[in-house]
Structure 1
Amino acid sequence: MDKQLLRDQIIADMHRRYATKKYDPTKKLAPQDWATILEVGRLSPSSYGYEPWKFVLLDTKTKHDIYNFAWGAQASIDGADKVIAILARKDITYNSPYVQHLVSDIKHHDFDPNSPRSQRFKQFQEHDLNLDTPRARFDWACRQTYIALGNMLTAAGRLDIDSCPIEGFDHAKMDQYFADHGLMDPEHWGVAVMASFGYRAQEITPKKRQPLADIYQEL
């Protein structure tokens, strides 16, 4: 593809992407499209490559159960084909069992908490970012889930699939529900954000954004 055509397509995709408030419940995603969106999430970058996320596709019962305390998801629950919760890990430290698993079993490196890489990560967390509490580490992980979320929304738009990022829910009640129903271990996980995917039953509102000059500065 011609480079300028590609640039134009990227910008067109971003204009097309819209936080959908009303979905057509009769329209379903092709399995191949959903697999592509999930793969984009899986391949998204994370700090040190430690992938502090899990993507949970909600079934009909779960969507019904959370409806009253997930006000921002209600329109999606009523019509979107897919509604997911993205969980974030609470337990990522330089010497945690989870990090040891990733290093040894996924990345196939020898794990040593005293290695230069492990100690750099310890310095990065404890001093550079001051992640000195479980809550701080969870918030750090949550921010990374938004990288995966953004990529998934963009990929959906490229596939002419509509989507909506969702923060409008009672996080304490959501965490409690997931814990009570065995959907996550609250010692290790918390719900960071939700998202929905489907096909809109409304027109896209043209984007209104600040001019680039107001948000970009060259030093």
Structure 2
Amino acid sequence: MNTALRKQILDAFNFRHACKSFDASRKISDEDFDFILEAGRLSPSSFGFEPWKFLVIQNPDLREKIKTVSWGAQGQLPTASHFVIILARKENSMHYESEYILDHMRNVKQLPEDVVDMISEFYRDFQNSNFRLTESPRAMFDWACKQTYIALGNMMSVAAQIGIDSCPIEGFDREKLEPLMEQEGLLDMSEFGVSVMVAFGYRENEPYPKTRHRQEAVVEWH
């Protein structure tokens, strides 16, 4: 691998930090933000079923309403150039017999019907036996949420590589946020729930030096 490219990537990982507030006067260009969204859209997911939706919240009134039930986004919602709420699909659309899954295989993946039947059988066994996801709606939703974090990580990583700051946010009251969003026409609670938020922009202040465990403390070879 090209040494300069490797250094560039690691420099971006060292640059990235959880930015608590942003320089509100600086806006991300449409081109750069589309690049970040593409990193999310092209991210991998289990069986390739893409159990997510990305809501870009730019309306100031909406941000203010969301802020009232999002204690972890008090500094980011008013200052971020772009604010994204990542939704995860619920059991209604992720179940192996759901219309969403069948439509995805036929019309997004464009698979022949015999392959649809084969994957449906694998997916059914995976959900029923391997991960026991059909035991509760919460199990299915949590599994979908785990996958949205792959997209989240990719979006933040590519943002850092082009000098854009970010902050992942779990500090919200889901039981209050989701009804508020449904009332505002932002989601259908029978199909989606809120997984995580992420803010993007340009840092207002320089962060503390990055700290992490040494590699030998978190990696084992066997």
Q: TM-score range by the shorter chain?
A: over 0.9
Contact 1:42 1:148 in 2 (8 A): yes
2:212 to 209, 213, 218: 209
* 1:67-106 pair list within 5 angstroms: 67-90=67-90, 91-106=93-108
Alignment RMSD (CA, Å): 1.4
Between the aligned partners of 1:64 and 1:111, the Cα distance in structure 2 is 47
How much has 1:211 moved relative to structure 2?
1.0
**What is the CA deviation profile of residues 149-180 of structure 1, one whole-angstrom value per residue up to 9, with x for unaligned ones?**
00000010011001000000101111111122
Amino acid of the structure 2 residue aligned with 1:68:
T
In structure 1, runs of 5+ residues without a counterpart are: none
2:162 to 156, 159, 162: 159
Between the aligned partners of 2:98 and 2:66, the Cα distance in structure 1 is 32
1:87–1:27: structure 2 CA closer, same or farther, 3 Å change rule? same
How much has 1:5 moved relative to structure 2?
1.2
Aligned structure 1 segments of 4 or more residues deviating by more than 3 angstroms: 110-114
**What is the CA deviation profile of residues 119-145 of structure 1, one whole-angstrom value per residue up to 9, with x for unaligned ones?**
111111111111022111100000000
How much has 1:194 moved relative to structure 2?
0.2
Between the aligned partners of 1:169 and 1:189, the Cα distance in structure 2 is 16
How much has 1:192 moved relative to structure 2?
0.4
The alignment covers a number of residue pairs equal to: 218
The residue number in structure 2 matching 1:8 is: 7
Between the aligned partners of 2:114 and 2:189, the Cα distance in structure 1 is 27
How much has 1:113 moved relative to structure 2?
9.7
Amino acid of the structure 2 residue aligned with 1:104:
R
In structure 2, runs of 5+ residues without a counterpart are: none
Between the aligned partners of 1:198 and 1:70, the Cα distance in structure 2 is 18
Amino acid of the structure 2 residue aligned with 1:117:
I
The residue number in structure 1 matching 2:132 is: 130
How much has 1:111 moved relative to structure 2?
4.5
Contact 1:113 1:119 in 2 (8 A): no
How much has 1:4 moved relative to structure 2?
1.1
Give 3-state SS (helix, strand or coil) of 2:18's partner. Answer: coil
